[in-house]
Amino acid sequence: MKKDKPTILVVNDDGITAPGIKALLEAIQELGRVVVVAPDSPQSGMGHAITIGKPLRLDQVEIYEGVEMYRCSGTPVDCVKLAVNCVFEGKKPDLCVSGINHGLNHSINVLYSGTMSAAVEGAIEGIPSVGFSLDDYTLQADFAPTLPYVKQIAQMLLQNGLPAGTLLNVNFPNTKTLKGIKVCRQAQGKWAEEFDKRMDPHKRPYYWLTGEFELNDQGEDTDVWALDHDYVSVVPVQFDMTAHHAIPLLNSWKFE
């Protein structure tokens, strides 16, 4: 009996017309039946936000020939939820792929990223999931060097799956000469944020978020190190946020 092609859900946070989603489709389209459910507008930095106070819209659109695509009015996580429950009607896809994001989602950025939150939601649903990001924010970003790696990683996930409760965070440096893949841990870093205060014409203050990324980790086994040395960083991520190492400490406290 001929085996059905695997089904692949594609989502992103830059919006359904973003160049990164076109590149992702180019890399994986031949691997199976690809279905895109993506936001109708950019949703960067939305994290794991969901829409609960207003209705969601889901419209089928024709953007790329031969690709089943749906435009969603909600967040990246909304897109995954609607895809699983309404597009696939509860029959979960074999793979969830998010990206390719314009801009890195390394280190602490994984917490803020709409790209990665979509992949996390896929993993919560029990679907092997991965988020891809490139260190280039421009609309002219060259995704070509990333495509063989995107395809290879997607193939590996379809063949092997992942341990329960995990997903992959994959980041690409902005170079045409990638050295290969490094399986890494997430670097310890944070944003040192500042707010640029300005005044509107009515003399009311408003603020623009600015800041710089501070790396507090010199390890050579991190995603930041790999990217700085022209490697593709692959970090296994989990959504169980329990600090297991702190449980013995809390059990030593004298709660009343």
Residue from 252, 240, 247, 244 nearest 123 by CA: 240
Per the structure block, which two tokens stand in for 172? 């690409």
The DSSP symbol for 27 reads H
Percent of the chain beyond pLDDT 90?
77
Q: What mean pLDDT do residues 104-113 have? A: 90
Q: What is the mean pLDDT of the chain?
A: 92
Per-residue pLDDT band for 3 (boundaries 50, 70, 90) equals: low
pLDDT digits (tens, 9 = 90+) for 166-208: 999 999 999 999 999 999 999 888 877 788 999 999 999 999 8
Whole-angstrom Cα distance, residue 161 to residue 96? 11
At residue 39, does pLDDT exceed 70? yes
- Report CA dihedral (120, 111, 219, 166) to the nearest 10 degrees: -10
Secondary structure of residue 98 in the 3-state scheme: strand
pLDDT at 237: 96
For residue 58, the cross-strand partners are: 72
Q: What confidence tier does 256 reach under pLDDT thresholds 50, 70, 90? A: confident
- Mean pLDDT, range 62-78, rounded to an integer: 93
Q: How far apart are the first and last CA of the chain?
A: 64
| Residue 217 reports pLDDT greater than 90 | no
CB 69 within 8 A of CB 102: no
User: Average pLDDT for residues 93-118, to the nearest whole number?
Assistant: 93
Q: Is the pLDDT of residue 2 over 70?
A: no
Q: Are 14 and 102 in contact (CB under 8 A)?
A: yes
Domain extent listing, the chain: 7-187+219-241
- The domain defined by 7-187+219-241 carries CATH number 3.40.1210.10: yes
Q: Count CA atoms within 13 Å of residue 89 on its CB side.
A: 0
Q: What is the 3-state secondary structure (H, E, C) of 222-256?
A: EHHHHHHCCCEEEEEEECCCCCHHHHHHHHCCCCC
Tens digits of per-residue pLDDT, 124-160? 999 999 999 999 998 899 999 999 999 999 999 999 9
Question: What number is the average pLDDT over the span 90-108?
Answer: 93
CB 117 within 8 A of CB 77: yes
**What per-residue confidence (pLDDT) applies to 228?**
95
Residues 206 and 245: their CA atoms lie apart, in Å, by: 42
- What pLDDT does residue 222 have? 94
Q: Are 252 and 183 in contact (CB under 8 A)?
A: no
What is the percent of the chain where pLDDT is above 70?
Answer: 99
pLDDT of 1 strictly over 80 = no
